[in-house]
């Protein structure tokens, strides 16, 4: 399986290159992470030890990207961020209604919303933006970001590593993975709602 030229050039840097790739994936949402990381796991990880260090490097890059979005939201503030989303959001897969939905996720538990957001496609990229606008406490936000990215990157890179040499299409594998994740998250949300309803007084 051939590695595209720019990706191969970054991979030649070793672990710093992996971190840069993960950072770019968070800042430039051109290639879905569930395709990118499965592809890297299938092509660029040579052994179990390398898998662990690759996961850590990817987690570092992803977390730095999330903190960059947080910093942008904090610097711009509410009005300028909303104006930027209205004007430019549709060009980066962030229409205004999606941004408002992401901001609404923080109405309850900030830590849980951030953590789950990092293992949810698309949401994982932009959720830190409204977090910065709202000025969430940086320490728990960063911890949730790191844990969420660690889980996401480890799962996708691990799947790719397990499938190396299988000849499978990374795109199809990645789509299957994200489908499974979305199904699991949907079932978890439904279970939590069902439990909450049972706990309400009659």
Query: Which two three-digit tokens encode residue 39?
Result: 């592809």
pLDDT by 10-residue block (mean), the chain, 202 residues: 70 89 85 80 82 94 94 89 77 69 71 83 82 89 94 90 73 68 68 65 48
What pLDDT sits at residue 104? 73
What pLDDT sits at residue 116? 81
What pLDDT sits at residue 42? 83
What pLDDT sits at residue 201? 52
Report the predicted TM-score, pTM, of the whole model to 2 decimal places: 0.77
What pLDDT sits at residue 183? 75
What pLDDT sits at residue 195? 66
What pLDDT sits at residue 22? 92
| Cβ neighbours around 62 below 10 Å, total | 28
In angstroms, the CA 37 to CA 133 distance is 29
Q: How many structural domains does the chain have?
A: 1
What pLDDT sits at residue 126? 83
| Alpha-carbon dihedral sign for residues 116, 119, 120, 123 | positive
**Domain span holding position 44:** 5-199
Write the Ramachandran bin of 165: left for phi over 0, alpha for psi from -120 to 50, otherwise beta: left
In angstroms, the CA 140 to CA 110 distance is 9
């Amino acid at each position: 399986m051939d590695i595209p030229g720019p990706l191969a050039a970054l991979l030649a840097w070793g672990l710093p290159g992996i971190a840069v790739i993960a950072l770019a994936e968070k800042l430039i949402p051109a290639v879905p992470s569930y395709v990118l990381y499965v592809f890297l796991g299938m092509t660029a990880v040579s052994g179990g030890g390398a898998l662990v260090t690759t996961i850590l490097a990817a987690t570092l890059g992803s977390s730095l990207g999330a903190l960059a979005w947080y910093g942008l939201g904090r610097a711009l503030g509410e009005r300028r961020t909303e104006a930027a989303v209205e004007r430019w959001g549709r060009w980066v897969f962030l229409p205004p209604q999606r941004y408002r939905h992401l901001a609404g996720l923080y109405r309850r538990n900030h830590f849980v919303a951030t953590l789950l957001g990092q293992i949810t496609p698309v949401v994982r990229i932009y959720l830190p933006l409204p977090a910065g606008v709202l000025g969430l406490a940086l320490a728990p936000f960063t911890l949730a970001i790191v844990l969420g990215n660690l889980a996401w990157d480890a799962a996708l890179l691990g799947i790719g590593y397990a499938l190396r040499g299988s000849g499978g299409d990374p795109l199809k594998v990645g789509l299957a993975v994200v489908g499974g994740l979305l199904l699991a998250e949907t079932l978890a949300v439904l279970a939590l709602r069902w439990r909450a309803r049972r706990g309400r007084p009659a």
